[in-house]
Structure 1
Amino acid sequence: MSERFDWPVLMQAGMRGLGLRPADFWALTPAELAFLLGQGSGRMPMDRTGLEELAARFPDRMEDDDGS
């Protein structure tokens, strides 16, 4: 099944509603635009940067590791 996007409506929502510049609007993926428009669970999948930030905040340590 092929879904079609209603580009005029999406452009109005993104540029007028969200105040995005055209270049920023066109750089978004459909999933990112849906997220910005309040659709979905509100949680985006974790990317590599998010994983690295999480690992830096909560490094793995052995129980007998003194942290040094």
Structure 2
Amino acid sequence: MTKPFPWDEAMQFGFGVLHLSPDAFWKMTPRELAQAIIAVRGRLASPLARRDLDALMQAFPDTGQPISGAMCGPDPRIHRTLQD
């Protein structure tokens, strides 16, 4: 089943990010819009192949233990307590 074209997202990007006029937006083809999105955001990374995921899982198995030095909870540099 084919997904419908994401018009809401396309219009949000065209008007909000590219600052296109409605006339300019509606004259663009979907391919032109896609290239404009890539120009701003860059190309999407390819999905990880299953064999690569399996190799990562083999190299870094879950141990059930927290990673040393890993941050748990909110970042204190960003989040402040109500007492501040």
Instruction: Report the TM-score, using the length of structure 2 for normalisation.
Output: 0.42
Runs of 4 or more above 6 Å deviation? none
User: What does the per-residue CA deviation read over 1:5-64, in whole Å, with 9 as the maximum and x for residues that have no partner?
Assistant: 1211110100111010011000000000000001887xxxxxxxxxxxxxxxxxxxxxxx
Work out whether 1:3 is the aligned partner of 2:3: yes
| Aligned length in residues | 41
Structure 2 vs 1, CA of residues 30 and 20 (structure 1 numbering), >3 Å: closer, same or farther? same
> Which residue is equivalent to 2:35?
35
Provide structure 1 residue ranges, at least 5 long, that are not aligned to the other structure: 42-68
> Which residue is equivalent to 1:16?
16
Larger radius of gyration: 2
Taking only aligned residues, the RMSD between alpha carbons, in angstroms, comes to: 2.1
| In structure 2, distance between residues paired with 1:40 and 1:15 | 19
Task: Indicate the SS of the match to 2:15.
Answer: helix
Instruction: Report the TM-score, using the length of structure 1 for normalisation.
Output: 0.51
